[in-house]
Structure 1
Amino acid sequence: MAATSGYALGPRRRHLEALAREVEARGLQAVLTEDLMLRVVDPPSGHGVLVVAMPMSRIRWSYLWAGGGQADADDPARAAELIVRTLTR
């Protein structure tokens, strides 16, 4: 229940929107889902991943994705680079 609590929705959306801009700048497609996950797809390969933004404390957030992917949400550019590497291997 905490993952969808009211205090987290605004920051979660902002973090995912920032990541969407970064991955799209690198040629990937990004769609924010209704349940506030970011679907990221590499168009040439068709490989994709769902990314969530989770609070790790009251002030720190992280991006998480399948395969053990994790990055600090304060650095969406770095997260985007890691996701690009994950999808284009």
Structure 2
Amino acid sequence: MAATSGPGTGPRRRHLEALAREVEARGLQGLLTEDLMLRVVDPASGRGLLVVAMPMSRIRWSFLWAGGGQADADDPARAAELIARTLGR
């Protein structure tokens, strides 16, 4: 079953939507998938990655992506900078 419902859906969506706005402000493309992951693509190189938002405690969320990428979901601007670097920006 896809993770499109349940107790974490609202916060997960909000965090990923905030991150999508931040990556788009940096010239990257962000697409929220049906199963609530954010696909981020650098249109110049075609490189991309998937970002998930995971609860780390009852009040703290983090963004995670391949290669050990991790950032606090309360700071989507910082996360977008790290993702841009990961994609070679």
Question: Normalized against structure 2, the TM-score is what?
Answer: 0.94
The equivalent of 1:47 in structure 2 is 47
Percent identity over paired residues: 86
| Post-superposition CA distance 1:28-57 (Å, at most 9, x none) | 000000000000000011000000000000
The equivalent of 2:17 in structure 1 is 17
Partners of 1:80 and 1:36 in 2: how far apart? 17
- Unaligned runs of 5+ residues in structure 1 are none
Alignment of 1:78-89 (within 5 A): 78-88=78-88
Partners of 2:41 and 2:69 in 1: how far apart? 15
Structure that is richer in helix per residue: 1
Deviates most, 71-80 or 4-13 = 4-13
CA RMSD, Structure 1 to Structure 2 (Å) = 1.6
Question: Normalized against structure 1, the TM-score is what?
Answer: 0.94
Deviation at 1:67, TM superposition (A): 0.3
